[in-house]
Each structure stands twice: as structure tokens, then as C-alpha cells.
Amino acid sequence: MDNLTQKIKARFDHEAAKQVLSEKYEAKLLFAHQGGMFRAGPELIVLLNSYDTGEMVILDEFKNPTKVSRLALLDEAKQRYQEQLNAWMVELAEQSRQR
């Protein structure tokens, strides 16, 4: 019975640690750009890729219309998204090895 309890506790601890990591890296996906706050992610990257204009007005995280340089924001969003997901993956793998 103690073995089962230990397995359940270890699994719960692992899930709690995953949730903490998720919250940590979700927060790191937020960044300021040209007076607005944006969340780097697939939605923003696809939106910016779907236009061919130099400047455009989009809503930031606080639903404020913000005029941005499309290519500069696209570059920053892609870089931030990939950096944070890579760091998240490394940290998650490290936690899984410790389990």
C-alpha cells in the first residue's frame, strides 16, 4: 500500500510541477512592442504572416488597437516563441529525468 501511495504522490508532484512550468513560460511569452503588449504564439505569428503590408493596426493583449511594423513584430514574436518553447522543453525534460 505504501508503494501505491508513493507512486500517486510522485505523479501528483510531477503534474503540479508541469503546471508551474506552464504558467512560468506562458508569462514569458508576453512582450512589449511599439506601445502594446503582445503574446508570442501561433495566433499572432499566423495573423502577421497573413498580411503583406508594412504597417498595420492590431489589438494587443489588453484589446487596445496598436499600430505596429508587421515584419519587426513578426520577427520578435517568432524569436520569443521559439526561445521560450525551447527553454520550456529543456526544463520539462530535466524534471522528467529527476522523476
pLDDT in tens, 27-44: 999 999 999 999 999 999
Q: How far is C-alpha 46 from the geometric centre of its chain's CA atoms?
A: 15
Residue 54: phi and psi, rounded to 5, are: -80, -45
Query: Is residue 94's pLDDT more than 60?
Result: yes
Average pLDDT, rounded, for the chain: 89
State the pLDDT confidence band at 85, using cuts at 50, 70 and 90.
Answer: very high
pTM confidence score: 0.80
Say if residues 70 and 48 touch (Cβ distance below 8 Å). yes
Distance (Å, whole) CA 84 – CA 70: 21
CB count, 10 Å around CB of 56? 15
State the pLDDT confidence band at 18, using cuts at 50, 70 and 90.
Answer: confident
- Of residues 21 and 48, the one with the higher pLDDT is 48
C-alpha torsion sign, points 54, 57, 60, 66: positive
